[in-house]
Structure 1
Amino acid sequence: MNVDWRSASSGSVRDTPVPYRPSRKMLILACILFFLTLCTCLVAGTQFATAYAQNEAFSFDEFLRSFTLFYKHPLGLAAGLPFALTLLTILLTHELGHFFACRYHHIRATYPFFVPFPNLNGTFGAFILIRSPILTNQALFDVGASGPLVGFGFAVPALVYGVLHAKLVPSLADPAHAEIIYGTPLLLRLLDALLHPGISPGALLLPPIGRAAWVGLLLTSLNLVPVAQLDGGHILRSLNPRLHWYSSLLLPAGFIVLGLLGFWEGWYFWAAMILAMRFLRVPPIYDPTALDSSRRWGALLALLIFLLSFMPAPLYIPPTSH
């Protein structure tokens, strides 16, 4: 994710490239957040590794126990390294795609900031802050599309590895036994049909590396939603600003409907976040130049990645779960 964190009055148009002056304080903050996110991802990865080793579905008890390891037996968190390193690699390459696209177009941007959080995945993702104007549609597209394209390129081989080493555990898809049921993106369904024909992807227990790829796909699809200042929003705005305006207005309502229909309660959070983004005043781009054909093909590729990664119900907790 890349967020333009300036008011409209601060984004004056410049004819000369903005010199890039990285802030030492920002670098220190980015390193601290990365370390904290590594810790929370190790905790999450440990419970995925334990479940995989025991051929069991996810357990909330095991999840809570992983947090006690953090201060009682920190070396026990080494089992979470495959998950943590895979997920952080996907997120870091995603954000570095944005970062170097900004460098290429002489746009000032911060280092990637990771968001540590003690949830099931160990993080809410990462983002960069853009500190200078984006002057052209080409630059806007490159900044928005570079992250998902690069991150997806790292997530796919990790998911392939995960499917190849997945275990058949039928109870995973049974609401009467599973404490949490993970959604299945289209890409995972295709890989399952190719590598495990005749087996439902919901009954496959992914190893930690595969689960990290699943999280990477989830975050990629959420970032590619074509609204506001999400990556997909930048892409759509570079193609059609008016359509971007309508999309940013209507899609939050669609997310609320998905939540009301019982797909995933997390859609309420995303609807609120997108609506909050609408209050950030972003300087307009006075560029009548349309995107070239290569970038238009890139937009179609980004749409394909979104369709392969998106899940209407990423997580489902059966009512019988505690």
Structure 2
Amino acid sequence: MWDASRDDLPTEIAQLEQLRSMVESEFDVEEGLIEHGSHTFYVRTRQDSKKGFLRLIKRLDTIGFVPVLRKNGKKTALRIIHRPPATLSRRTISMILFFATVGTTLFTGYTLSQGFVAEDFMPNPTIGAVSFASAIMTILVVHEVSHKLATHIHGIRATAPYFIPGPPMPYGVGTFGAVIQQRSLPPNKDALFDLGFGGPFAGFIMTMIITIIGIQLSPTVSRPPPGMVDPPMPILFRLLVEAFATIPPGHYLLLHPIAFAGCIGMLVTMLNLVPVGMLDGGHAARGVLGETPRNVLSFFSILLLLVLGHYLMAVLALLLSLQRHPGPLDDVSELTTGRKLATLVLVLIFVLCIVPIRPVLR
């Protein structure tokens, strides 16, 4: 509420009336007041309130405000807050991280290629280094470009992708993936779901293509060469091996670096779909389920990570789950039926990309 003794009261009342006029063009206003320093309107939604809210976002953006629609008990509260100041995307840092990640993945690919060179399947490990780095970076770039496309379609302010270099072989795979920082909230649940769906789906398709190419380039050997990497394999990887590789009894499939990149792409996709925090799975689950059911799902997903042996990721997921998801600006309008059904696609992708404990590829 406001204090009648304040000198700036007439200005705030005038601004309240201006904002009320904008809100009334899209909602039925029951009450308007200044509450906790922000303009608040208790409204009744209309049949086209989802589209009306999008129109209101654009109108308020021209005068430096952002609307936030939430349920407050049995009432619907529409709060108008000042738009946070825009911050510049650090493109120089983004480029440095990109080339650093290229470097660490090249080193990983070089290490992975030693078995190929030893068995005379590859003349130079540099070929394998470039193959692995190109494959894994393609998966990551497609994933992040899909995110960027979703932010552009829905008018979400976001930074350029920040690729995260990681320790190369034998201590890691050269990358921890990539992230895009949001500078504004998604306008509604549809946009929030799309933000979580686009990257994993596009990355999954590219991962399948790269994996199939890698499997077809992978020879079989009668004995495992020194230093042969035999990592845990996702369910989908095993299915693709069954479909596209012929392995004689007693032989081993010597994974081409591109095939190994596909395996890593599946693992990254699975971890991104864990429904916690600001991960892709967290966005999608928040849009479909809301905050409280998503928190319950987060708890069981952390248990699943522990069962699968991803202890470090389980700890990270636990830390991420402690942060409350801000949700979309419009947290009242329902998610479209098509997007609800698309949730099954994400569940299927997650299951196919699960890495079981101690698998052996023969």
Please give the TM-score of this superposition, normalised by the length of structure 1.
0.76
SS of residue paired to 2:102: helix
Q: Which residue identity is paired with 1:142? A: D
Contiguous gaps of at least 5 residues in structure 2: 1-36, 41-52, 63-84
Which of 33, 42, 59 lines up with 2:97 in the alignment?
Answer: 33
1:210 counterpart letter in structure 2: A
Could you say which residue in structure 2 is the equivalent of 1:244? 294
Q: 1:98/1:38 Cα in 2 relative to 1: closer, same or farther (>3 Å)?
A: same
Distance 2:196 2:249 in 1: 34
* CA–CA separation in structure 2 for the residues paired with 1:203 and 1:301: 32
Which segment is superposed worse, 291-300 or 115-124?
A: 291-300
**Residues 185, 327 of structure 2: 8 Å contact kept:** no
Question: Among residues 302, 305, 310, which one is paired with 1:255 in the alignment?
Answer: 305
Deviation at 1:249, TM superposition (A): 2.6
Report the 3-state secondary structure (helix = DSSP H, G, I; strand = E; otherwise coil) of the residue aligned with 2:178: strand
Paired residues for 1:48-127 under 5 Å = 48-55=112-119, 77=126, 79-120=128-169, 121-127=173-179
Contact 1:109 1:132 in 2 (8 A): yes
Which residue of structure 2 aligns with residue 212 of structure 1? 261
The answer for unaligned runs of 5 or more in structure 1 is: 1-8, 57-74, 317-322
Q: How does 1:1-322 map to 2 (within 5 A)?
A: 15-17=56-58, 23=88, 26-55=90-119, 77=126, 79-120=128-169, 121-169=173-221, 171-172=223-224, 180-196=229-245, 203-241=252-290, 242-256=292-306, 258=307, 264=309, 267-285=310-328, 286-313=330-357
Deviations 1:110-150 (A, max 9, x none): 11111111233111111111111123110110000000111
The 2-side partners of 1:315 and 1:88 are apart by 26
- Aligned sequence identity (%): 31
> Over alpha carbons, which structure has the higher Rg?
2
CA–CA separation in structure 2 for the residues paired with 1:40 and 1:129 = 23
Figure out how many residues of one structure are paired with residues of the other and give that number: 277
- Quote the offset at 1:288 in angstroms: 3.2
SS of aligned partner of 1:119: coil
Instruction: Kindly provide the amino acid, as one letter, of the partner of residue 334 in structure 2.
Output: A
Q: 2:75 matched to which residue of 1?
A: none
> What residue is the counterpart of 1:319 in the other structure?
none
Indicate the SS of the match to 1:126.
strand
Cα gap change, 1:305 to 1:250, in 2 (>3 Å): closer
Shift of 1:77: 4.5
Counting strand residues as a fraction of each chain, which structure ranks higher? Answer: 2
Q: Point out the structure with the larger helix share.
A: 1
Q: In 2, Cα distance between the equivalents of 1:43 and 1:198?
A: 29
Shift of 1:180: 4.8
Using the TM superposition, give the Cα deviation of residue 297 of structure 1 relative to its aligned residue in structure 2, in angstroms: 3.2
Please report how far the alpha carbon of residue 36 of structure 1 lies from its aligned counterpart in structure 2 after TM superposition. 0.4
Q: Which has the higher contact order (CA 8 A, sep 6+)?
A: 1
- Code of the residue aligned with 2:284 in structure 1: it is I
Contact 1:43 1:77 in 2 (8 A): no
| Contact 1:38–1:84 (8 Å) recurs in 2 | yes
Aligned CA RMSD, in angstroms, stands at 3.2
Normalising by structure 2, what TM-score? 0.68
Change (3 A) 1:31 1:202: farther
1:227 and 1:274 in contact (8 A); partners too? yes
